[in-house]
Structure 1
Amino acid sequence: MEWTNKMTGARNVIPAIKTTLPAREILLALLMLTCVSTKIPAQNVNDNPANWCRNGLFPSDEVEFKLAQVRGIKGSQIYFLNDTDGCPGTDAKCRTKSYLIPGDQVVVSRRYGSWICSWYQPRKGSETVGWLPVDSLVISEQVTSPALEKWIGRWKYDNQSLNIRRDSKSGFLTVKGDAIWRGTGDNVHVGSVEASASPQGDELILIEEECRVTLKLVGDYIVANDNSECGGVNVRFNGVYRKGRSERVSMSSVSILRVGKHWIASTVTASGLTSRENL
């Protein structure tokens, strides 16, 4: 840019001001932008927060389920941790009232930092699901090809049941399952599945029309996950099942015979044992 001094007539030139930044300053600006936090909360199954560990989500975890046993000295207690904001963690607000003792067994799924999502299913009563410290457990490697006999029996979880037997002709496993959802008052919905299939490793997939149920054998437990198409509204087979006792009368065949003047009840249990009793 030029201008003329009216008093002297001299012409002066004003140097142009650079409007571009040096390369070093541009690079610095870019680095500052990359340092700005763009962290997005980690997502897990069905777009739920990664720190969630709940019974309704557990069977759908897309990981390999494993069996674990609580370790520790006699008398020690390992508390479950919840999944509220900032949990699991060492803060007292994360600890629940539920705890396990050494020797208890749990089914575990995915990890979150130093914790692992765990499901405790007692022989009687409701399950407890939450985070447990990984270092408090002895985690077993999953048996990927369990013996066929491990599947056979009557399995139970809450109001759901799975009766699994082997078809002597086809060699397939035949499964008959029943599920019930109880609402308020007399609001009850039911569902069922009946199908035959052959296990693929530790997994058994049942398909009956629109209904699809995936069973995974984990030690002495079955983790079931369905596609929500196996019955009425809210009816699900999802859960962790335990096998019932093999000698229960419900799994027995009872025949009434008359011998002379006496009536005799002949009972054949699931294991093939026979007992007779005078009536």
Structure 2
Amino acid sequence: MRLLSAALALLLAPFAAQAADCLGLGPAGTPADLRMVRDGPSRPLYRGAEDAGCPAETAACRTGTTLGPRFRVVAGETSGPFTCVTRADARGRLTTGWLPTEALAPAPDVPLRAADWVGRWHNGPDRYLVVTATLDGALVLRGEARSGARTTRRTPRPTVHHGVLDARIETDGDDAAFTIGEDGATRPDVPEEAALCRVALRRRGPYLIVQDNGRCGEAGVSFTGPYRRTG
């Protein structure tokens, strides 16, 4: 059953949901689920509020990227008749933009096993997770995220912030949630511990959807986003 606890709905009191620019997924407790582009012609993605009058189904608002029918995407916040969607390809490279909500359909419901979580998952070049299974059937999640501009010949060495996850997780097949205590130990999700690292996971289609509360790394480094298995 795809049931998240009421605790997940209350995750992230410090982070109010915002339906502004389409920057990918919001923190845990905000919308994030698998959808599929409806059959028919490919659909263009549209820019967001950073451009005046967008999102809108106009040539000026198009990003230049299209999504073909039956592409599976992770749907996040809505803004009027549009939904912010993110797609990660087989290498974990991300595409994000606004899509008319009417262009999205429910994705097929496929039962999952614990083994479907196992593998190396990427979200862009700066976030990865590795999920392994123990002999007693538990799952162990380890990962790293970083933020900061990449160094080029023309830029000085940037400040790079890191986040690390190391947790033993339990799942009902589709969802999981946990808190990492100050001692580094994994515990069931605790809504009252807003200052600790809290993570919600959803396994949907080709994606491992991660949403955290911005407390899992330095300077607000986040693991939030859809991940694709790359190994």
How high is the TM-score relative to the length of structure 1? Answer: 0.60
Report the CA distance between 1:175 and its aligned residue.
Answer: 0.9
Deviations 1:171-220 (A, max 9, x none): 22111111222336142222211111211452222332232222111111
Q: Check conservation: 1:155, 1:163, Cα contact below 8 A.
A: yes
Q: Unpaired segments of 5 or more residues in structure 2?
A: 1-14, 152-156, 182-195
Report the CA distance between 1:119 and its aligned residue.
Answer: 0.6
Q: Check conservation: 1:59, 1:240, Cα contact below 8 A.
A: no
Quickly say closer, same or farther: Cα 1:174–1:106, change in 2 above 3 A.
same
Report the CA distance between 1:86 and its aligned residue.
Answer: 3.7
Aligned to 2:48: 83
Aligned to 2:22: 53
- State the identity as a percent: 29
Report the CA distance between 1:142 and its aligned residue.
Answer: 5.1
Q: What CA distance in whole angstroms lies between the structure 2 residues aligned with 1:188 and 1:113?
A: 36
Aligned to 1:218: 204
For the pair 1:96 / 2:63, whether they are aligned, the reply is yes
Q: What CA distance in whole angstroms lies between the structure 2 residues aligned with 1:120 and 1:227?
A: 21
Quickly say closer, same or farther: Cα 1:232–1:106, change in 2 above 3 A.
same
Deviations 1:5-39 (A, max 9, x none): xxxxxxxxxxxxxxxxxxxxxxxxxxxxxxxxxxx
Q: What CA distance in whole angstroms lies between the structure 2 residues aligned with 1:132 and 1:195?
A: 35
Aligned to 1:152: 118
Report the CA distance between 1:61 and its aligned residue.
Answer: 5.9
Q: Larger relative contact order (C-alpha < 8 A, sep ≥ 6)?
A: 2
Look at both structures and tell me which one has the larger radius of gyration over its CA atoms: 1
Q: What CA distance in whole angstroms lies between the structure 2 residues aligned with 1:227 and 1:108?
A: 19
Q: What CA distance in whole angstroms lies between the structure 1 residues aligned with 2:93 and 2:120?
A: 18
Aligned to 1:189: 161
How high is the TM-score relative to the length of structure 2? Answer: 0.71
SS at structure 2 position matched to 1:150: helix
Q: What CA distance in whole angstroms lies between the structure 1 residues aligned with 2:92 and 2:140?
A: 28
Aligned to 2:73: 106
Q: Which amino acid aligns with 2:218?
A: G
Q: Which amino acid aligns with 2:116?
A: K
Q: Check conservation: 2:162, 2:217, Cα contact below 8 A.
A: yes
Aligned to 1:241: 227
Q: What CA distance in whole angstroms lies between the structure 1 residues aligned with 2:69 and 2:211?
A: 29
SS at structure 1 position matched to 2:30: coil
Aligned to 2:184: none
Aligned to 1:66: 34
Report the CA distance between 1:60 and its aligned residue.
Answer: 4.2
Match of 2:217 among 225, 231, 234: 231
Q: Check conservation: 1:79, 1:132, Cα contact below 8 A.
A: yes
Q: What CA distance in whole angstroms lies between the structure 2 residues aligned with 1:117 and 1:69?
A: 13
For the pair 1:127 / 2:94, whether they are aligned, the reply is yes
Cα RMSD after superposing both structures: 2.6
Q: Which amino acid aligns with 1:228?
A: G
Q: What CA distance in whole angstroms lies between the structure 2 residues aligned with 1:236 and 1:149?
A: 25
Report the CA distance between 1:237 and its aligned residue.
Answer: 0.9
Aligned to 1:29: none
Q: Check conservation: 2:26, 2:211, Cα contact below 8 A.
A: no
Q: Unpaired segments of 5 or more residues in structure 1?
A: 1-44, 246-279
